[in-house]
Amino acid sequence: MQQVATEPAGEELSLAERAYRAIRDRLVMLEIRPGAPINEDQLAQSLGVGRTPVREALKRLQYERLITTYPRRGTFATEVNITDLAHISEVRQELEPLAAALAARRATAADRATLTAALRELEGADSPQRDAAELMRLDLQVHRAIYAATHNPYLEDTLVRHDNLATRIWCLFIDRLSDMAGHIGEHGPLIEAVVAGDPDKAAQLAHSHVEGFERAIRAAI
């Protein structure tokens, strides 16, 4: 199963953190379908870890609204509710431009290298060989790299959680979206503005990108 590459190479992760990131991305990409039951034993086996790391991961994922636990019924992947789109967009329209501007001001050489590598990946976004799931993983990768470049862990955490929720909505309507490659390609100028250290342009592009995302989803409903 292809993973979303968002963390620095060589980073040492605990078993619980590895389990959390793997399960999180399966939920975000709807590889675990909305409403599906969560089986701790199956997850532990598929990830090659024990039940304890999985249980710790699930506690975090419940807080992030990706899973829901019902007394005497069990734990399930959270349903995707399109009415949440407006609430998620309100947060992102304020914070995505802030993150882009901060990234443009604070990005280190390592951050810029990561973003430049993502920019090269984007150059082939409209290739027929790139399927929808691969494009969505690339979208997540770019957003998470920009959030990391803010060097504000509180802002990064908030935006990762809201981008995850937005991506679940995106994946739900993926078959109805006409120009997904074009939407993903919008990240190119945004990355260039961040790498160039232009906070005003980066903020403007980030705001337009979030607005375009909401318009595209509403048009697909």
Q: Which DSSP string corresponds to the chain?
A: ------S-TT----HHHHHHHHHHHHHHTTSS-TTPBP-HHHHHHHHT--HHHHHHHHHHHHHTTSEEEETTTEEEEPPP-TTHHHHHHHHHHHHHHHHHHHHHHH--HHHHHHHHHHHHHHTTTT-TT--HHHHHHHHHHHHHHHHHHTT-HHHHHHHHHHHHHHHHHHHHTGGG-S-HHHHHHTHHHHHHHHHTT-HHHHHHHHHHHHHHHHHHHHHH-
What does the mean pLDDT of the chain come to? Answer: 89
Residues 113 and 188 both lie in one domain: yes
Which of 60, 77, 94 is the last residue before a domain boundary? 77
Task: Judge contact between 79 and 34, C-beta under 8 A.
Answer: yes
142, part of any domain = yes
Supply the Cα-derived Rg of the chain in whole angstroms.
17
133, part of any domain = yes
CATH classification of the domain holding 32: 1.10.10.10
144, part of any domain = yes
Residues 32 and 109 both lie in one domain: no
Which of 77, 107, 122 is the last residue before a domain boundary? 77
7, part of any domain = no
Residues 110 and 201 both lie in one domain: yes
Structural domain containing residue 149: 84-220
- pLDDT exceeding 70 applies to what percent of the chain? 89
pLDDT of residue 87: 94
Residues 89 and 189 both lie in one domain: yes
**9-62 tens-digit pLDDT:** 434 678 999 999 999 999 999 999 999 999 999 999 999 999 999 999 999 999
pLDDT band of residue 181 (cuts 50, 70, 90) is low
Mean pLDDT calculated for residue range 74-97: 94
Which of 31, 56, 77 is the last residue before a domain boundary? 77
Tokens linked to 58? 């699930």
**90-101 tens-digit pLDDT:** 999 999 999 999
Tokens linked to 103? 């990234």
Q: How far apart are CA 107 and CA 195, in angstroms?
A: 7
On the question of pLDDT at 64 being above 90, the answer is yes
1, part of any domain = no
Q: Based on the structure, what is the number of domains in the chain?
A: 2
On the question of pLDDT at 5 being above 80, the answer is no
**157-170 tens-digit pLDDT:** 999 999 999 999 98
CATH classification of the domain holding 156: 1.20.120.530
Residues 215 and 176 both lie in one domain: yes
Residues 183 and 116 both lie in one domain: yes
10, part of any domain = no
pLDDT of residue 214: 87
Residues 95 and 192 both lie in one domain: yes
Residues 60 and 167 both lie in one domain: no
Residues 67 and 88 both lie in one domain: no
Residues 136 and 41 both lie in one domain: no
More confident residue, 5 or 203: 203
